[in-house]
Structure 1
Amino acid sequence: MSYTALILAGGQARRMGGVDKGLVKLAGRPLIAHTLQALAQQSQPPQHILISANRHLDEYAAYGHPVLPDTLPDYPGPLAGLLAGMQAAPDATLLLLPCDALVLPKEFAARLLTALPGQQVVSASDPAQWHPSLLALQPGLAAALTAYLASGGRSIRGWLAGLQHQSVHFAQSLPNLNTLDDVRQLERQWPAG
């Protein structure tokens, strides 16, 4: 199944002190570069990649993929980035991932996509937690997302609660880097080279 990957790098990163999370460096490279590498190493790589970003658009565009600012004002959260991706690729099956999804199993995309038929959305979980921002989504959900956002909804979890949804469990831990300390801690374990 072909798919388009949508990388979320458009948030305010409040827990990181407001820095642009996708451009924070880990082992000398921005997180977005590691995430793009993780996608390239998938057993089933994406047909297209989109980057949702609201700052430093030229820096993200330098990676050679379309950059999509939010179409809604005032940074309404990750769902605004998802909506921009749905609007840019309305007929595509989307794989949504945040810009800190830099360690993914090689079969990550394939497993989510395999579970997608019969569901509207499939998410990922690991031994520690559920990751509602790691999703495979069927096309045709833009109207439902627009209605949820118009009603004041902002939570991915809240939106998923109203959809046909299942989660795929991975034995490997999937990083969730919310603070600069999280990045530094991962950097201490990061392989050299």
Structure 2
Amino acid sequence: MDDITGLVLAGGRGTRMGGVDKGLLPFRGLPLAQHALQRLAPQVGSCMVNANRHLERYAAFGVPVYPDSLADYAGPLAGFLCGLAHCSTPWLLTVPCDTPLFPHDLAQRLARAAAAENAEIAFAAAPEIDAQGHTRWRDQPVFCLLQASLRPSLLRYTAEGGRKIDAWARAQRCISVAFDQPGDDARAFANANTPQELHALENAR
């Protein structure tokens, strides 16, 4: 656990939420990002937040807050790069602020799989039902455990204009880890991109 630093990604534009700072929207009595932070903190040695607005409000959560070094809301990889720049442990674990029900054993399961496969990056993968009612697996690349030593590679990729997590990650030793154990919450990786989705998650039991 002490080898992993946790990072809550809260630096997006919140476009589908009407441009609001999504991480500060209320969820069961707490801001979304704080809820994610409290869920992540017991799983890792230390935590930080990546945010680009209202930094003083995020700082009130009690952990370091860092903005993107890339301009113009460059997406999750900008958050990854921010986290790696401030990570003092061998591994960084990223989680988005808008998926508040992610597994309590996320770090453990990703780390175990990475060690077993000698991987540099481990994504979570979860089942979802498509329009035809078929179950298919989908990577959740923002739920990412990655080696801190990958920072030079990510710096090069983003400096060349790259912004796709998958495209960069698949050039490394990368694995997908299926979250398909008995008792896993089917909503664990459901995210709130719209007010309606947030309301549905808040009322899920």
TM-score of the superposition, structure 2-length normalised? Answer: 0.86
Unaligned runs of 5+ in 1: none
Alignment correspondent of 1:180: 195
Cross-structure match for 1:63: 61
Indicate the SS of the match to 2:124: strand
How many angstroms does 1:102 deviate by? 1.5
Partner of 1:21: 22
CA contact (8 A) 1:32 1:100 kept: yes
Determine whether 1:137 maps to 2:135. Answer: no
Q: Aligned Cα RMSD in Å?
A: 1.5
The structure whose residues are more often strand, as a share, is: 2
Residue 65 of structure 1: SS of its match in structure 2?
coil
Runs of 4+ in 1 over 3 A off after TM superposition: none
- Between the aligned partners of 2:127 and 2:195, the Cα distance in structure 1 is 23
**Alpha-carbon deviations, 1:9-42, whole Å to 9, x = none?**
01111121111110111223211121122124x5
| Partner SS for 1:119 | coil
Counterpart Cα distance in 1 of 2:79 and 2:24: 17
Tell me how far apart the structure 2 counterparts of residues 79 and 28 of structure 1 sit (CA, whole Å).
Answer: 29
Give the number of aligned pairs: 187
Cα shift readout 1:76-132 (whole Å, capped 9, x = no counterpart) = 111111111101115431111111232122221100011122111000011113211
Cα distance in 2 for residues equivalent to 1:169 and 1:22:
26
Q: What is the match of residue 147 of structure 1?
A: 156
Partner of 1:116: helix, strand, or coil? helix
Q: Which runs of 5+ in 2 are unaligned?
A: 129-137
In the alignment, does 2:71 pair up with 1:79?
Answer: no
Amino acid at match of 1:17: G
Give the structure 2 partner of residue 10 of structure 1: 11
